[in-house]
C-alpha cells in the first residue's frame, strides 16, 4: 500500500484530510463520507493527532442532574456521557435521581500524585542501598533540578523500591490542572540527569522508565499509593427512598454486596464494584481525557453498610483517577463544550472534575446493583440496549 499523503506545511487542513480519506478509500474501498463531516477547523489539532483524516463520532447524552456535595464541586450538574451502549445514560440518570433525592453525593479528594519511576542498576545490592540513602540526603537538590522544567508541577516525594541490585525511584508530583504524564517525564528526566552527573558509586545502568510507574496499566502500588487523584464518593440512602426509586431494600443491596465482594476476590479482580469503567470512559470521551487512562482509573473499591434502621451507607473509592481540565484533548471544540457544561474547563477546576466523576461512578454502581437485585437488569437492556438495524 502507498503511504498516506503528507504536506508538513498544510497537514492540518480540510484539503489534506480529504486527500487522506481518498487514499484510504482507493486502497480499501471503504466509504468514509461520515468521517469527513465535522464542525471544527483542523488547524486546532497539532499536538492532539497526526495524519488527521476526519472524525469518529460517538453519540453523546446528558445524565442527571447529579447533586454533588463536594469541597470543589457543589450543586447540580448535567453529566456529559459519550457512549454507544444503550441503557447506560438512563441507568446513571436513575442513580442520580436516587442520590439527588437523598440530598446528594458527598465527595472528597484525599490525595493527588502523578508519577514517573526511573530505575538505577548497580554492581551489587550494597551500592543500591547506599544510593537510596544518598537520594534521601540530597532530596532538596533533586527537587530543585526537577522543578526547573515546570511551572505547575511540584515534586512532593520520592518513594524507593528495591529488588536485588536494582532500585526504582518513584517520583511523585502534583501537576496542577493537567493530567501531567508528559510533565513529570520531563521533570524526572532533568532530575535524573543531575543525579547521573554526581556519578553514583557502582552505577551500571539507568533507564527513565521500567514499568514501575505502570503508566496506563493497573497496579496494586497505584491502588495503595495513588496515581492521579484519589477520590471518595459516599452517601447514606434512606430505606423508604430505596424502595420508592429502586424497588429494593438496603438489606438486599447489602447482601448482594457481600456476594460481589467474594466474587471479585475469587476472580482476582482489581475492582469489587460493578462497572466503574462505564461511567469513567463515557465521561473521558466526552470531556477530552486520555481514554487509555481508564486502565488505571477504573480500578477501585466499593463499601456498603446496612444501618439498624434499614438505611444503606455506600461509598466508592477511585485510587488512581487521572483527569485534566487543561491541556491535552480538553481544549478541542466539543470536548471543551462538555467541560464547560460542568463548569470544569480551564485552570483551577481539576479537583472539581475529579469529584464529579467519582459521584457519577457511585450513581452507576447503585443503579446497576439495584437492577440486579430487583431483576430489572436484563429487561432494561432488552428495552433500551439492543440496536436492531
| Distance from the Cα of residue 294 to its chain's centroid | 5
Q: What's the pLDDT at 387?
A: 58
Same domain, 103 and 144: no
340 belongs to the catalytic site? no
Predicted pLDDT at 241? 96
Q: Are residues 146 and 104 in the same domain?
A: no
Identify whether 146 is part of a domain: yes
Does 203 lie in the same domain as 102? no
Whether 309 is in a domain gets the answer yes
Pair 376, 249 in one domain: yes
Active-site option among 85, 130, 159, 311: 85
Beta bridge partners of 271: 300
The pTM of this model reads 0.94
Q: What is the DSSP string of 86-146?
A: TTHHHHHHHHHHHHHHTT-EEEEEEEEEEEE--EEEESSHHHHHHHHHHHHHTHHHHHHHH
List the domain range (segments joined by +) for residue 158: 118-207
pLDDT value, residue 298 = 95
Quick check: is 269 in a domain? yes
4 belongs to a structural domain? no
Instruction: Output the pLDDT for position 9.
Output: 77
Same domain, 99 and 157: no
CATH number, domain of 298, equals 3.90.770.10
Residue 381 bears catalytic tag? yes
68 and 29 within one domain: no
Which pLDDT score is estimated for 5? 84
* Residues 187, 199 share a domain: yes
pLDDT confidence of residue 389: 55
Question: DSSP letters of 196-235?
Answer: HHT--TTEEEEES--SSS-TTS--HHHHHH-SEEEEEEEE
At 134-144, the pLDDT tens digits run 999 999 999 99
Mark whether 73 and 188 lie in a shared domain.
no
- 22, 290, 311, 337: the active-site residue: 290
Per the structure, how many domains does the chain have?
3
Q: What is the DSSP letter of 370?
A: H
Q: What CATH number has the domain bearing residue 155?
A: 3.30.70.420
Q: Check whether residue 42 and residue 189 sit in a common domain.
A: no
Residue 347 grid cell: 485552570
In a domain, 249, yes or no: yes
CA 143 to chain centre: 27
pLDDT in tens, the chain (389 residues): 778 888 777 899 999 999 999 999 999 999 999 999 999 999 999 999 999 999 999 999 999 999 999 999 999 999 999 999 999 999 999 999 999 999 999 999 999 999 999 999 999 999 999 999 999 999 999 999 999 999 989 999 999 999 999 999 999 999 999 999 999 999 999 999 999 999 999 999 999 999 999 999 999 999 999 999 999 999 999 999 999 999 999 999 999 999 999 999 999 999 999 999 999 999 999 999 999 999 999 999 999 999 999 999 999 999 999 999 999 999 999 999 999 999 999 999 999 999 999 999 999 999 999 999 976 644 554 555 555 55
Q: Does the annotation count 11 as an active-site position?
A: no
pLDDT confidence of residue 162: 97
Catalytic residue among 22, 159, 311, 381: 381
Same domain, 79 and 29: no
Shared domain for 93 and 128, answered yes or no, is: no
Is 299 found in the same domain as 175?
no
Question: Concatenated DSSP letters for 335-363?
Answer: HHHHHHHTT--STT-HHHHHHHHHHHHHH
Amino acid at each position: 500500500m502507498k503511504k498516506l499523503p503528507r504536506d508538513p506545511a498544510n497537514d492540518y487542513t480540510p484539503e489534506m484530510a480529504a486527500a487522506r480519506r481518498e487514499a484510504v478509500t482507493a486502497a480499501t474501498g471503504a466509504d468514509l463520507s461520515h468521517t469527513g463531516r465535522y464542525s471544527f477547523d483542523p488547524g486546532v489539532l497539532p499536538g492532539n493527532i497526526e495524519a488527521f483524516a476526519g472524525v469518529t463520532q460517538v453519540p453523546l447524552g446528558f445524565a442527571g442532574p447529579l447533586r454533588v456535595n463536594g469541597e470543589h464541586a457543589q450543586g447540580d450538574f448535567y453529566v456529559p456521557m459519550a457512549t454507544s451502549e444503550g441503557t447506560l445514560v438512563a441507568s446513571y440518570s436513575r442513580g442520580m435521581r436516587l442520590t439527588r433525592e437523598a440530598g446528594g453525593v458527598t465527595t472528597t479528594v484525599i490525595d493527588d500524585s502523578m508519577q514517573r519511576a526511573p530505575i538505577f542498576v548497580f554492581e551489587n545490592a550494597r551500592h543500591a542501598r547506599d544510593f537510596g540513602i544518598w537520594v534521601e540526603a540530597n532530596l532538596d537538590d533533586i527537587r530543585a533540578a526537577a522543578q526547573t522544567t515546570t511551572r505547575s508541577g511540584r515534586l512532593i516525594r520520592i518513594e524507593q523500591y528495591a529488588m536485588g541490585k536494582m532500585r526504582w525511584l518513584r517520583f511523585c508530583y502534583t501537576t496542577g490542572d493537567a493530567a501531567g504524564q508528559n510533565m513529570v517525564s520531563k521533570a524526572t528526566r532533568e532530575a535524573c540527569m543531575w543525579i547521573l552527573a554526581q556519578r553514583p558509586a557502582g552505577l551500571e545502568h539507568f533507564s527513565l522508565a521500567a514499568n514501575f510507574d505502570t503508566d496506563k496499566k493497573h497496579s496494586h502500588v497505584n491502588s495503595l499509593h495513588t496515581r492521579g487523584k484519589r477520590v471518595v464518593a459516599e452517601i447514606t440512602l434512606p430505606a423508604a427512598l430505596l424502595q420508592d426509586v429502586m424497588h429494593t431494600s438496603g438489606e438486599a443491596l447489602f447482601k448482594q454486596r457481600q456476594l460481589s465482594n467474594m466474587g471479585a476476590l475469587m476472580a482476582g479482580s482489581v475492582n469489587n464494584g460493578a462497572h466503574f469503567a462505564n461511567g469513567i470512559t463515557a465521561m473521558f470521551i466526552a470531556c477530552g481525557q486520555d481514554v487509555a487512562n481508564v486502565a488505571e482509573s477504573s480500578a477501585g473499591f466499593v463499601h456498603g453498610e446496612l444501618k439498624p434502621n434499614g438505611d444503606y451507607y455506600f461509598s466508592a473509592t477511585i485510587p488512581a483517577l487521572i483527569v485534566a481540565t487543561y491541556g491535552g484533548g480538553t481544549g478541542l471544540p466539543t470536548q471543551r463544550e462538555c467541560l464547560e457544561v460542568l463548569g470544569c474547563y480551564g485552570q483551577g477546576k481539576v479537583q472539581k472534575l475529579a469529584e464529579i466523576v467519582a459521584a457519577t461512578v457511585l450513581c452507576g454502581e447503585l443503579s446497576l446493583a439495584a437492577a440486579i437485585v430487583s431483576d430489572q437488569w436484563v429487561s432494561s437492556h432488552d428495552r433500551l440496549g439492543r440496536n436492531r438495524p
